[in-house]
Structures are given as structure tokens and as C-alpha cells.
Amino acid sequence: MWGGRFAEGPAAVMREINASLPFDKRMWRQDLRGSQAHAAMLGAQGIVDADAVASIAAGLDRVADDYAANGVPDDLALEDIHMLTESRLADAIGPDAGRLHTARSRNDQVATDFRLWVRDAIDEVEVALKALQRALLTRAEEHAASVMPGFTHLQSAQPVTLGHHLMAYFEMLRRDRSRFADARARLNECPLGSAALAGTGFPIDRDATATALGFGRPTRNSLDAVSDRDFALDYLQAATQCALHLSRLAEEFVLWASQPFGFVALSDAWSTGSSIMPQKRNPDAAELVRGHAGRITGCLVALTVTMKGLPLAYSKDMQDDKPPVFEAHDLLGLCLAAMTGMIATATFRTQRMREVAEAGFSTATDLADWLVREAGVPFREAHHITGRAVKRAEELGCKLDQLPLDDLTAIDARISAGVYDVLSVDASVASRTSYGGTAPANVRAAIAVARKDLS
């Protein structure tokens, strides 16, 4: 390719470090789409004659069929998917293949291909996120009234419902979808026609190629267009945030599946065993989701550091933009599929959840609220009274709702028998009817809204 300028070929190591084909070949579909759009525009503008354009279009179809049937070969001498495709096109149609690169550079070509690939990737993630959300909705609906302990500092805090807990992750995924949607909207500008960095003197129609490729508009500045990788960073930032949410859910499953918690049993399909301990049932899928979050975060850091301080316009450093995006996308797809499977098939041990919710004085706040509401006690004072009641229950080894009325009135004479109406975990969750609260009626209403949004 460099024969006009260089007398000798590259060193073997230079050839290897310079080649991106082993990883950028996965963009072959996007590369062919971009080339077809570019060829059609060249013909429409009279830059390349109609017969040559027809030959190029047919040849690109043949190359696509070959890639689909036989895969994309690793030919390091051709460096990347763009030069490999042009070489294959030349094999198919002869010298007319050389006209395809008129009025474009590999710089705007790769920027266009990569945007197309990331856009497709976002569409894939959207489908996977909605599948996980539907799995959460299904299980949340089953357990809208199933009581479990709510934690702060991993200490029993207040009772909640399992449905409410699962819907919290639905909300996280809703924000993840919005981040990916925002990233998609920002990237939907077409760099094709920016050429190497300065645009081109040929009378091209950038609006036509942008429209043909489904972009909203052409990019406005040729320098920015070929050197911008914000869209890749946007994708990685959204993927990282999503992976962190999945990791938090995975961590809950790891804890819940342990014997001290005993809140959930994972299905055989999402568990593994031990090579030495026959009794073990390990939540490895959840642990791997948790681990993959670190790798996805690393992908974001890798590209962030690569792009730091690069001058305009294109630098070869930017060849390293794709591996972290490809890796993150593959890992995120696995994580979403694994979490969807785990959620859909898990057996929630609701009786055990209820036992733990009842064991940690989790309705103490309900006693304090009752004192405020029924006896007119300032909340801070009610807090102290409730603390004394908890201490007395600990001394007697009983739950708050089992504490004798005489003991309660000895702590504060304003307490009456009506307090027992609020001290059970069921009464506690049923009372949390404020918007966004854990009351079963609230959870069911939230599910109905969520299903409507998803549809």
C-alpha cells in the first residue's frame, strides 16, 4: 500500500503492532454499509461513472457474502478491515475498486464505521436491558407483599417488601437505558466526507450519505469528526454505570444465597459446585457479574487515558479505541444475560426473609412514629423512648410486638394497647404508602406503570 513512498516494507514487529485487523474485522458489516453509501453518493454526484458504481456495489455484495460464509481472514499486510475489503473488492471487480476511496480517507471511514458499530451495540444493549427489566417486574409482582428486612450498613433497618427491593433495580436499569439513549442521540452524526481531516474538494453530498446510513445529520467540523471518540467514551461510561448496578445486584445474590442469609436458592443452571466439597453450591454466575464490572470499568479507564492529551486530528493511538469498547460490550452482554437468567429462575425463600425481618427490631421506627402521631410526642423524644423499648425487648429476649404492655407503659405512660397495631412487619410495610414507598399497593402500582413504560 505504501509502495509509492517507501522503498522497503515494514519490519515484522512493525507490521504486527501496526495492524488492527485482528480486532477491527468485527466491524466488517458497518464498513460495507459505509462503502455502499459512499459509492452510491459518488455515482449520484457524477464523481464516479454509473457503470463503475454498479460494479463496486455488486462487488461489495460479493465481499459481504464471502465474509458471512467464510469469516474475515487475518492478513496483517493489509492492516485493517478497510484495506482488506478494498483488496477483496479489487480481486472481485478489478481496477474499478480503486475508485471507491475517492473523496474519503480511512480516518473518516473508521470514524463512521465505529459510530455505526457503537450505535448497533447500543440497540443490542437496549433489548437486553428491557429483558432484564421484564424479569424483575415478573418477580416483583409475585412478591409485592413478601416481607424482607431492609438494610442500612448491612444491619436490619426497616422491613420492606421483596417486590419493592427488586423494583429498586428496575429503576437503576431505567436510568441505564436513558444513558445509553442519550449516548446514541449524541453519536448520531455522520463523519463520512470529512476525509483525512480537512474535508475534500470533490462535490460530495454529505447529507445523502448521512441519510443513507441512518444518521440524523453530518458532523459539522471535519477536524473534530475524525478525531472525536466521545461517542465511544459515552458508551463505556454508560456501560460502566450499568455494570456497577449489575454488580450490586449480583452481590446481593451472593449474600442472599449464603447459609447465614438463606434468602434465595439459585437454580442449577446458574450455580456451580466444588472440586473437593460435595455439599457446595456456589453462586459463580453472580460472582462473575460482580467481577466483570471491574473489567468494564477498566475498559473505560483504558480509553480515557488513551485519549488524554491527543492533538488534532488523528493519531495512531486512536487505533486502540476499539478493543476496550468491544471487550466491554461483550462482557456487558454476558452480565445482562446472566442476571436475567438468575432473576427468572431464582427461588426466593420468603419465610426466611420474614424471620430475619422480624428478628432485628426493624419496626422500632414504627413505634417512634406512633408516639409522634398518636401521643403528640416530639420525634426526637420518641426516638429515645423507642430506644429504651428496644433495650427492654433485648433483655427479655422477645420481639417488639411481643413486649408486654406493662413494660411499654413503664417506659412511657403515653403508650397504649393501640401501639400493637403498628409493630408487626406486615403493618409496618403496609403503612409505607408515601409515593415511592414499600407498601404492597405502591409496589403493584409501580409495576403497572413500569409495564406500560416498557410496552
Residue 123 CB: number of other CB atoms within 10 A? 11
Largest CA distance in the chain: 101
Euclidean distance between the first and the last CA atom of the chain, given in angstroms as a whole number: 52
Cα 380 to Cα 220, 368, 375, 390, 431, distances in angstroms: 60, 9, 13, 15, 21
Backbone angles phi, psi at 264, to 5 degrees: -150, 150
Residues 232, 225: Cα–Cα separation, whole Å: 13
> What residues are annotated to the active site?
153, 274
| AA identity, residue 260 | P
Q: What is the CA radius of gyration of the chain?
A: 30
* DSSP codes of every residue in 90-144: HHHHGGGGGGTTTT--HHHHHHHHHHHHHHHHHHHHHHHHHHHHHHHHHHHHHTT
Give the integer Cα–Cα distance in Å for 27 and 56: 19
CB atoms < 10 A from the CB of 22, how many? 13
Separation CA 271–CA 265 (nearest Å): 9
Q: Provide the angle, in degrees to the nearest 10, between the axes of the packed helices 230-257 and 106-142.
A: 30
